[in-house]
Structures are given as structure tokens and as C-alpha cells.
């Protein structure tokens, strides 16, 4: 999608070096050994047991390279009945139950980005940083194991506890399972807006300034969040009828005056032109590419982003890597 390049590769590999090794050959193993001799961290996601069979198992590396931080990523971990099962992002979304709470009432759905891959990478990243900090104190590296299933199960703690407490979550699209009104409403010119009422104070101001219906504050149907959730259809009808009488501009103005949290229901075209989108430009073999900047901002320290390498651009030679 990016001038003939993979969007994933361009996103994830800026500032890196690319070396392709055949680890079934003596030269490939020697090149990896040379890299490990200089490395702080080894991250690998080969099938469980593969690195051991190649002679680079974490247990042996901990002995030969005691300061090395090793992070092994797998689908289901290295023990248990699914240890040898292939695992990809959408498969784990389904197996973990994430799809069951995603989408509208009619059927489960996948999250629109590779949320399992991203969350697993972020979890591994945090664990590696923790190990590096600890190594600065103890001098010892670490052997870290992260599975995609474990990460997603951790992220699903709240809906799991709700289920085990007798209140299994239901799919309700872009509404909130325990807050109302919290959902999408369309203006008379067909523009969808997502609103969120977070407190009774906000509800009162919303009734006065947006709905212009102060009687709804004390009406038993809407008088508390519990009542509004119980009577969600009536609440949504009340709010939706006012949205339907306003243009998008009028609705946005009233919501702003009422200090209510709201958002446009945007697509990628809207994100591309969004006033809050920060971008960086990186070089690639197909030319410069502009895309969203990393989230962290370091005040007083300008960030520089390296080029995206071509596959095996740096080869295995130490002189090339330099």
C-alpha cells in the first residue's frame, strides 16, 4: 500500500537495520552469534522449541550471555494443550472471547486493527524495559516469555469478571453497557455524533442546555444513570429526537456550550485531515513516507527518526552494520 511496500513494514521498522540470516547454515549461526555478543536484547517469535533446535535456546543463552535480556513471544505459551497450535491475531481475538464482545448485537466482530499483535508487542516492550532497569541494578539479564493469549486474557479482565459475577457483557455496538446516554446520534443533516454523559451533574446540564428539557432531570425514567440504562430505549429516543432536529453545527455548538464530551464518528479520510494528527516523515527505499508520529512527546528533546531499511540492506557483515 505504500509505493509497493508493506504498510506494516514501513510503520514498524523505521530506524532499524535489516539483516537476513539462514539459521540452518553455519554462516548464519555464526552471524547471529556475533550479533548476540554485542546485543542487550533478543526478541524472537519462532515456534516454541525452534530456537533450541538451532542451538540458541534461552536457557543456554542465559548461561553464555548472562546479561542478555531474552524475550520469547508465542501464541499460547510453551506448555499446555495449545502450545503447538498456530496463532495469528484474529485467531486469538476469537479464541480469547474478544470477538464476542465486539461489534453490534447481531454477530461478533474483529477489532479493526491487529490489536492482539500490537498489545503483545507493547507488553513485551514494557517487560523488556523492566528487565533492563533491573539489570542496571543486579547485572543479570532475563528470560521473558509472553504469549498472545495471556496478553489478551489480561486485557479482558473486566468483561471476564463481569461474566463471572453473573453479568456477562453484551454487544451493543457504539453504546456503553453501563452508561446512558453514551452512544451515537444522528443530526438532521445525517451526521453521526458520539456523546458521553459521565455524571448526574453533566446530565442536568445536558438536559438544560442541549435538550432544553429541564423536566427530564427529575422524570423517574431518566433521573439516574441506573434508570437511564434500564430505560435505554426511551433515553435514546429522547436524546435522538433532539439531535434529529439540529444540524451538525447546531448540535456541536450546544454540546460545547453544555461542556459535554463528544466526538465525530470519523473514517480514515477524516483522520488523514484531522487537526490533531501529528506526523513524521521517514525515508524508505521507495521515497519519503509521511505517517502518524509516535505518541510520546519529549519536551525539550527533538526526536529524530531513521530510515526504513530495505530487506537485508545491512547484510550480516559487521562492516555493513556499522
Q: State the catalytic residues.
A: 176
DSSP state of 209: I
- Round to whole Å and give the CA distance between 71 and 145: 6
The angle subtended at Cα 167 by Cα 104 and Cα 91, nearest 5°, is 50
- Round to whole Å and give the CA distance between 146 and 153: 12
- Round to whole Å and give the CA distance between 143 and 127: 10
The residue written with cell numbers 441506573 in the block is 226
Residues 6+ apart with CB under 8 A from 301: none
Residue 100 phi, psi (nearest 5): -70, -20
Residue 268 backbone zone (phi > 0: left; psi -120 to 50: alpha; other: beta): alpha
- Round to whole Å and give the CA distance between 281 and 70: 31
Own/partner long-range contacts of 21-27 (Cβ < 8 Å, ≥24 apart) = 21/316, 23/54, 23/56, 24/54, 27/316
- Round to whole Å and give the CA distance between 66 and 140: 6
Neighbours of 133 (CB within 10 A): 10
- Round to whole Å and give the CA distance between 261 and 226: 20
DSSP state of 179: B
| CA neighbor of 280 nearest in space, from 14, 6, 43 | 14
Amino acid at each position: 500500500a505504500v509505493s509497493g511496500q508493506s504498510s506494516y513494514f514501513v510503520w514498524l521498522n523505521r530506524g532499524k537495520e535489516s539483516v537476513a540470516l539462514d539459521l540452518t547454515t553455519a554462516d548464519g549461526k555464526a552471524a547471529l552469534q556475533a550479533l548476540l555478543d554485542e546485543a542487550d536484547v533478543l526478541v524472537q517469535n519462532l515456534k516454541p522449541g525452534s530456537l533450541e533446535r538451532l542451538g540458541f535456546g534461552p536457557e543456554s543463552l542465559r548461561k553464555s550471555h548472562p546479561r542478555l535480556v531474552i524475550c520469547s513471544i508465542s501464541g499460547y505459551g510453551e506448555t499446555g494443550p495449545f502450545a503447538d497450535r498456530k496463532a495469528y491475531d484474529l485467531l486469538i481475538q476469537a479464541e480469547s472471547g474478544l470477538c464476542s464482545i465486539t461489534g453490534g448485537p447481531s454477530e461478533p466482530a474483529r477489532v479493526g486493527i491487529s490489536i492482539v499483535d500490537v498489545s503483545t508487542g507493547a507488553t513485551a516492550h514494557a517487560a523488556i524495559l523492566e528487565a533492563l532497569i533491573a539489570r542496571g541494578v543486579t547485572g543479570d539479564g532475563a528470560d521473558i516469555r509472553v504469549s498472545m493469549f495471556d496478553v489478551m486474557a489480561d486485557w479482558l479482565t473486566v468483561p471476564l469478571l463481569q461474566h463471572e459475577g453473573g453479568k456477562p457483557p453484551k454487544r451493543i455496538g457504539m453504546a456503553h453497557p453501563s452508561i446512558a446516554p453514551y452512544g451515537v446520534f444522528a443530526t438532521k443533516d445525517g451526521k453521526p455524533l458520539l456523546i458521553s454523559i459521565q455524571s448526574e451533574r453533566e446530565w442536568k446540564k445536558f438536559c438544560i442546555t442541549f435538550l432544553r428539557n429541564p423536566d427530564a432531570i427529575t422524570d423517574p425514567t431518566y433521573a439516574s444513570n441506573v434508570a437511564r440504562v434500564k430505560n435505554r430505549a426511551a433515553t435514546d429516543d429522547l436524546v435522538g429526537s433532539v439531535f434529529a432536529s439540529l444540524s451538525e453545527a447546531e448540535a456541536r455548538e450546544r454540546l460545547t456550550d453544555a461542556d459535554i464530551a463528544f466526538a465525530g464518528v470519523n473514517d480514515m479520510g477524516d483522520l488523514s485531515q484531522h487537526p490533531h494528527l501529528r506526523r513524521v516523515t521517514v525515508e524508505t527505499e521507495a521515497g519519503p513516507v509521511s505517517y502518524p508520529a509516535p505518541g510520546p512527546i519529549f519536551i525539550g528533546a527533538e526526536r529524530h527518526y531513521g530510515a526504513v531499511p530495505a530487506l537485508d540492506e545491512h547484510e550480516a557483515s559487521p562492516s555493513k552494520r556499522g
